């Protein structure tokens, strides 16, 4: 037996016991007469001690120990003379009788403690050492706990956990596919799933009724803090349900997770139509932890000879509480901020509502105090507030104001990460027009059903058709999304037409789904949650990398195993492939 106890287990009532522990050496403190060794494993840290009364051989062995050696420690539990209240095992120590070195270690490239001195790249290269740190491991423990709770909830609700294949054919979810060459089928490729979308729908045709899977998905996109080329979804599908049934079930799951894992009771989630989210928050994933809503001032501000406003399609404003004090410098800096290419506004108009009830604005030449008072009333400003206005094309300005709102929310400390405000965003448009390619794209995916009452618009005004699609948004983060599906071959085929597929292309790529619909498909709907995002939100982190055991870096590389990499000529031969890199000899 390697150990009788873990390093986090011994307490005062274990005093007197002979124990065996095993773990890694956190540090050795040689005080001359006494040497203390902190022994660490996943469960905690226990202090080991040798002193003048210890056998010479033990003292010699202890002197040779180094950081991160793996040892077995055998000894007797005794009460500490100076206790460490910060450590659960801090009342006791183990007086060593024997040490067995199981593994030696080189000096680690960074310190294995919460506030490590290791930079990002170094920690990723030695991720197995990084994972020894308690803060990092805790995130993965949280992840495991949440996966477990998810299974408990969904199993209770009669969902069948079903695996779907990883080597498939491309499913268009709007991203690029990762592809895998097939050795046995020369010149042909599998694609890795962007999601199990078509399979879960086929499981509904198969009569599974309720399916789920905690599943890896792959999308070849540019990376950001909340994106990885491979990521995990809680993927679900249900039969004989409408939108409300799905939202109820997954609101239930979300609330269950908050309660089980964080002991937080969350109220019923509000529903907000997409159009309202865009008009009031300038985003389809509104952060509803704070108000600061967008107001439309277009009608009120036009016609005063201020050319910038007169020539704009839309003029919108937000009110920032208590910011009338902003200095010239702060306003200039904010103006620069909205002019950055990411926001792309041409300029910023401000109105200060002074404490004495007067107004000071950057457009005083064009607007009277009475005019400004009307604006203040519309946006709900009080003395001491600062009103910020942007103007231009409606859609662009709404998004820009949405970004400005989040920025001001950050500056005013309104985005507390310990407060959770989930909501359902519903009634998304079915299609999105792309000016560059001059065609419609599915806003969610091509299997999403239009709202019944909008089906007639499919021919006359497709851009106006709303979908039975929904997103779960928490604190401005899109945690999940799904839709009620098309389950009829004709409608599905019409969707592919609208999306610019030829009959042959549609048949080639999705013939299997459309023919399944000819064998009795039940009405069905589903959803998928981004599991990494959900866990990182529960952990209070900004990046999903911190909740993934072995993540990729921003260039999509795993720097530990050094992947992606070239493959050998033998492998290429077997695959009948030849690598030609365009533009290179």
Minimal distance, residue 483 CB to ligand ASP, in Å: 5
Distance of alpha carbon 485 from alpha carbon 224, whole angstroms = 30
Query: Which member of 47, 483, 492, 536 binds ligand ASP (CB under 6 A)?
Result: 483
Distance of alpha carbon 277 from alpha carbon 362, whole angstroms = 29
Q: Which stretch binds ligand ASP (CB under 6 A): 10-18, 258-266, 481-489, 548-556?
A: 481-489
Minimal distance, residue 215 CB to ligand ASP, in Å: 10
Minimal distance, residue 274 CB to ligand ASP, in Å: 16
| Nearer to ligand ASP (CB atom), residue 317 or residue 527 | 527
142 is written with which tokens? 């949280």
Q: Which stretch binds ligand ASP (CB under 6 A): 222-230, 354-362, 418-426, 475-483?
A: 475-483
Query: Which member of 481, 495, 545, 551 binds ligand ASP (CB under 6 A)?
Result: 481
Phi, psi of 177 (to 5 degrees): -90, 150
Query: Which member of 482, 486, 531, 532 binds ligand ASP (CB under 6 A)?
Result: 482
Distance of alpha carbon 319 from alpha carbon 336, whole angstroms = 19
What is the 8-class DSSP label of residue 385? -
Distance of alpha carbon 267 from alpha carbon 421, whole angstroms = 9
Q: Which of residues 518-577 bind ligand ASP (CB under 6 A)?
A: 526-528
Distance of alpha carbon 288 from alpha carbon 294, whole angstroms = 13
8 Å CB contact between 445 and 394: no
Minimal distance, residue 173 CB to ligand ASP, in Å: 6
| Nearer to ligand ASP (CB atom), residue 5 or residue 285 | 285
Size of the site for ligand ASP (CB under 6 A): 9
Check whether the bond before 63 is cis (ω within 30° of 0).
no
421 is written with which tokens? 């405000």
| Nearer to ligand ASP (CB atom), residue 173 or residue 287 | 173
Distance of alpha carbon 420 from alpha carbon 544, whole angstroms = 18
| Nearer to ligand ASP (CB atom), residue 229 or residue 526 | 526
Distance of alpha carbon 184 from alpha carbon 188, whole angstroms = 9
Q: Which stretch binds ligand ASP (CB under 6 A): 113-121, 202-210, 388-396, 477-485?
A: 477-485
Q: Which of residues 185-244 bind ligand ASP (CB under 6 A)?
A: 195, 197
| Nearer to ligand ASP (CB atom), residue 136 or residue 486 | 486
Interface with ligand ASP, residue 173, by CB under 6 A: yes
Minimal distance, residue 171 CB to ligand ASP, in Å: 8
Angle at 339 between CA 338 and CA 342, to 5 degrees: 80
What is the 8-class DSSP label of residue 569? H
Minimal distance, residue 468 CB to ligand ASP, in Å: 11
Q: Which of 320, 305, 330 is nearest to 352 (CA)?
A: 320
Interface with ligand ASP, residue 90, by CB under 6 A: no
| Nearer to ligand ASP (CB atom), residue 50 or residue 527 | 527
| Nearer to ligand ASP (CB atom), residue 47 or residue 468 | 468
Distance of alpha carbon 426 from alpha carbon 242, whole angstroms = 13
Phi, psi of 456 (to 5 degrees): -65, -30
Interface with ligand ASP, residue 467, by CB under 6 A: no
Q: Which stretch binds ligand ASP (CB under 6 A): 116-124, 137-145, 356-364, 479-487?
A: 479-487
| Nearer to ligand ASP (CB atom), residue 196 or residue 476 | 196
| Nearer to ligand ASP (CB atom), residue 75 or residue 480 | 480
Q: Which of 383, 330, 329 is nearest to 359 (CA)?
A: 383
Distance of alpha carbon 551 from alpha carbon 528, whole angstroms = 21
| Nearer to ligand ASP (CB atom), residue 448 or residue 536 | 448
Minimal distance, residue 444 CB to ligand ASP, in Å: 6
| Nearer to ligand ASP (CB atom), residue 51 or residue 251 | 251
Q: Which stretch binds ligand ASP (CB under 6 A): 119-127, 327-335, 338-346, 480-488?
A: 480-488
Three-state secondary-structure class, residue 326: coil
CB closest to ligand ASP, residue no:
195
Distance of alpha carbon 8 from alpha carbon 39, whole angstroms = 10
Minimal distance, residue 552 CB to ligand ASP, in Å: 19
8 Å CB contact between 360 and 385: no
Distance of alpha carbon 170 from alpha carbon 178, whole angstroms = 9
Q: Which residues pair with 77 in a beta bridge?
A: 94
Minimal distance, residue 529 CB to ligand ASP, in Å: 9
Residues 6 or more apart whose Cβ sits within 8 Å of residue 389 = 297, 301, 315, 316, 317, 348, 349, 350, 351
| Nearer to ligand ASP (CB atom), residue 25 or residue 484 | 484
| Interacting residues toward ligand ASP by CB under 6 A | 173, 195, 197, 481-483, 526-528
């Amino acid at each position: 037996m390697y150990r009788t106890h873990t390093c986090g287990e011994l307490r005062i009532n274990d005093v007197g016991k002979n124990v065996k522990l095993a773990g890694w050496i956190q540090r050795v403190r040689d005080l001359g007469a006494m040497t203390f060794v902190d022994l660490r494993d996943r469960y905690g840290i226990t202090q080991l001690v040798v002193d003048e009364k210890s056998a010479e051989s033990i003292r010699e062995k202890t002197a040779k120990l180094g950081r991160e050696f793996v040892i077995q420690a055998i000894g007797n539990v005794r009460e500490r003379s100076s206790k460490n209240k910060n450590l659960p095992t801090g009342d006791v120590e183990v007086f060593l009788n024997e040490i067995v070195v199981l593994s030696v270690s080189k000096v680690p490239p960074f310190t294995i403690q919460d506030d490590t001195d290791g930079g990002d790249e170094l920690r990723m290269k030695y991720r197995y050492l990084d994972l020894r740190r308690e803060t990092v491991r805790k995130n993965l423990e949280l992840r495991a706990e949440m996966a477990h709770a998810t299974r408990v909830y969904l199993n209770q609700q009669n969902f069948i956990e079903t695996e779907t294949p990883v080597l498939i054919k491309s499913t268009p979810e709007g991203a690029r596919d990762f592809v895998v060459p097939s050795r046995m089928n020369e010149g042909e490729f599998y694609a890795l799933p962007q999601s199990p979308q078509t399979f879960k729908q086929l499981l509904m045709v198969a009569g599974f009724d309720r399916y789920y899977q905690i599943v890896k998905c792959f999308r070849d996109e540019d990376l950001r803090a909340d994106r990885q080329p491979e990521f995990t979804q809680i993927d679900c599908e249900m039969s004989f349900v409408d939108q409300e049934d799905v939202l109820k079930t997954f609101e239930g799951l979300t609330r269950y997770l908050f309660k089980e894992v964080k002991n937080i009771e969350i109220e019923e989630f509000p529903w907000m139509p997409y159009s309202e989210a865009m008009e009031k928050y300038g985003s389809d994933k509104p952060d509803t932890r704070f108000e600061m809503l967008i107001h439309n001032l277009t009608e009120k501000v036009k016609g005063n000879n201020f050319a910038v406003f007169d020539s704009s399609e839309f003029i919108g404003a937000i009110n920032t509480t208590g910011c009338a004090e902003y200095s010239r410098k702060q306003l200039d800096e904010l103006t620069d901020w909205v002019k950055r290419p990411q926001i792309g506004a041409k300029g910023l108009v401000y109105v200060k509502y002074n404490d004495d009830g007067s107004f000071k604005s950057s457009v005083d030449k064009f607007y009277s105090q009475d005019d400004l008072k009307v604006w203040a009333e519309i946006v709900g400003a009080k003395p001491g507030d600062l009103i910020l206005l942007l103007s231009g094309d409606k859609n662009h300005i709404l998004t820009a104001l949405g970004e400005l709102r989040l920025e001001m929310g950050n500056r005013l400390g309104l985005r507390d990460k310990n407060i959770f405000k989930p909501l359902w965003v519903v009634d998304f448009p079915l299609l999105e027009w792309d000016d560059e390619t001059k065609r419609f794209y599915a806003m969610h995916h091509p299997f999403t059903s239009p709202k019944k009452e909008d089906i007639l618009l499919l021919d006359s005004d497709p851009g106006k058709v709303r979908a039975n699609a929904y997103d779960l948004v928490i604190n401005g983060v899109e945690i999940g999304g799904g839709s009620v599906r098309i389950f009829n071959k004709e409608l599905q085929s019409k969707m592919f037409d609208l999306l610019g597929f030829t009959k042959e292309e549609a048949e080639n790529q999705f013939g299997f789904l459309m023919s399944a619909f000819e064998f009795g498909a039940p009405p069905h709907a589903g959803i998928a949650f981004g599991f990494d995002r959900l866990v990182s939100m529960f952990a209070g982190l900004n990046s999903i990398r911190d909740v993934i055991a072995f993540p990729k870096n921003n260039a999509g590389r795993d720097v530990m195993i050094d992947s992606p990499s070239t493959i050998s000529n033998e492998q290429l031969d077997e695959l009948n492939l030849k690598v030609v890199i365009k533009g290179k000899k």
